[in-house]
Amino acid sequence: MVEQAALEYYAGLGYRGVWAENGYWSFIMALLFWDIIFARLPGVYSDQLGDFPGKLQDMPHDFFRPEFYSRRAKLIGKRIDNLLACASISKEINDAYAKHKGKPCRPIWNWDAYSIDDLCLGIESISREQLFLIMKRLLADFGKNRSGLPDLFLYAPKPSLVEVKSGSDSLRESQVEWLQFLLYTVGLSVEVLLVNHTDHKIRLVQDALAAGSCDTVLSVDHPALQETKTFGRSSFE
């Protein structure tokens, strides 16, 4: 996969990170807001279907609707305030992981997808305020905002989010929205790494992001790509 090859490419430059896409951030959201996601509010679960969460109801009935947030806004706000003031976000993640691992939960499609180290090191690389801006956008409309997050989360030596596009791929509207949100609202570094794109396709990506010209064009001989590839790397900061 081109994303894994790109992650290895960045590792060769001294970066550490994860192939994140949407799953990483949904995983973090579920761990930090578990008790709110599965709060037993009227009409969001069915006794007839057994445990909540359980195999037959791994999310509340309104999870993919905007009213999920509006019905829990006070709970979410209070939880964020508590997390902003807590001693360690990593401890919160570790405790939730130990308590809930293996339980059915729609945002966590695979409990082994990410190591605790990757979850904690990544989150500790950004400010809590930045983290909860991302969490609030997910929670505000999970059905809409759960897709489009960048492919890679590089968390060392400095945090950056990278969308990887092969020559046959283009940016979707949801990806542009997330890139702009992460850059302009959250204040994180974002990049688009273009693999085997023509100059014309690079310009289309830049136009979609309303960005300047491409910073660097790198020729990389990467074993995972099986042949020499040209990476167009655009940084929008």
Assign 3-class secondary structure to 95-117: HHHHHHCCCCCCCCCCCCCCCHH
Token digits of residue 131: 């983290």
CB 229 within 8 A of CB 220: yes
pLDDT of residue 215: 34
Taking alpha carbons only, the member of 49, 117, 34 closest to residue 83 is: 34
Angle at 187 between CA 215 and CA 168, to 5 degrees: 45
Please give the sequence-ordered ranges of beta strands (E in DSSP) within 40-136, or none if there are none: none
Q: How many CB atoms lie within 10 A of CB 227?
A: 8
Low-confidence ranges of the chain (pLDDT < 70): 167-168, 196-237
pLDDT of residue 226: 37
Going from the C-alpha of 66 to that of each of 59, 121, 184, the distances in angstroms are 14, 31, 23
> Which own/partner contact pairs does 120-123 have at CB distance under 8 Å and 24+ positions apart?
120/89, 120/90, 120/93, 120/94, 121/16, 121/155, 121/156, 122/17, 122/18, 122/20, 122/24, 122/153, 122/155, 122/159, 123/28, 123/89, 123/90, 123/93
The helix/strand/coil state of 235 is strand
1-20+150-237 maps to CATH 3.40.1350: yes
CA atoms of 101 and 224, how far apart (whole Å): 33
Instruction: Count how many residues are written for the chain.
Output: 237
Tokens 């195999």: give the residue.
55
Q: Return the amino acid letter for 168.
A: S
pLDDT of residue 67: 95
pLDDT of residue 223: 45
pLDDT of residue 88: 97
pLDDT of residue 45: 96
Which pTM does this prediction carry? 0.86
Name the segment(s) of the chain with CATH classification 3.40.1350. Answer: 1-20+150-237
Token digits of residue 17: 């990170």
Sign of the Cα torsion 58, 59, 61, 65 reads negative
